[in-house]
Amino acid sequence: MPVPEIKVLDKGFVRLIDHMGSDLSVVNAARVSFGKRKTAFEDGDAKLLAYLAEHEHTSPFRHTALTLHVKAPIFVFRQWMKHRIASEFNEISGRYVEFPEDEFFVPEVFRRQAKVNKQGSEGAIDEQDHARALATYLKSCRGAVAHYKELLSLGVCREQARCVLPLALYSEVYWTVSLQAVAHFIRLRSDNHAQWEIQQYAAAVRSLVEPLYPVGLKTLLADR
């Protein structure tokens, strides 16, 4: 059976590796307080999940888990790994493996610095500057990778040689996370203030998670 996967950016992806529980699992985690357990999810249970989320009784949502395999640029993971609560990350190690030649992110559009939001961007740079920006970007990334390969050829260890690699380099992680934590990630990283590239990953994560916990995720993401 194929692993559910969504392609992201030019070389990235998000794959669903495994998951535990369902919306019913959240219901039963809540109802155990009354010594009760259900075998089927019913309409009234959706109201219970909405009540739990609205009043921040969120521990039942943590009786779920899913594992995703993610390939993304390092600068995306810099932001992603701020989501540490109820999350576990294991990342490919440059101490063990040699990175390939062209595994770095190349944007289709170069954006301008936002005038109001100091950390954000807006619109595209002038069209006449795009080719020069792309050439500069590629020269920098390819040069860094070439220097990395040269250091390895000189006998420098992988753990030191990797220090010259760019933030655009793709990395891979396994991410295991609860439903509550993944909803928090989606809410923050889907916001239009988040960097565009991580917004694409948040959309991919949501597409994989929604079929597993349709009511629970919708409830956690609802505006209050």
Query: What residue has token string 């970007």?
Result: 137
111 is catalytic: no
Burial-class residue 40 by CB neighbours within 10 Å (0-12, 13-18, 19+).
exposed
Burial-class residue 158 by CB neighbours within 10 Å (0-12, 13-18, 19+).
middle
Which three-class secondary structure state does DSSP give residue 71?
A: strand
Burial-class residue 163 by CB neighbours within 10 Å (0-12, 13-18, 19+).
exposed
Handedness of CA 48, 186, 208, 203 (dihedral sign): positive
Catalytic residue, chosen from 78, 132, 187, 189, is 189
Two tokens, residue 180: 């509550």
How far apart are alpha carbons 210 and 123 in whole angstroms?
31
Look up residue 102 and give its DSSP letter.
T
Handedness of CA 61, 62, 64, 66 (dihedral sign): positive
Strand partners, 138: none
Q: Which residues are catalytic?
A: 189
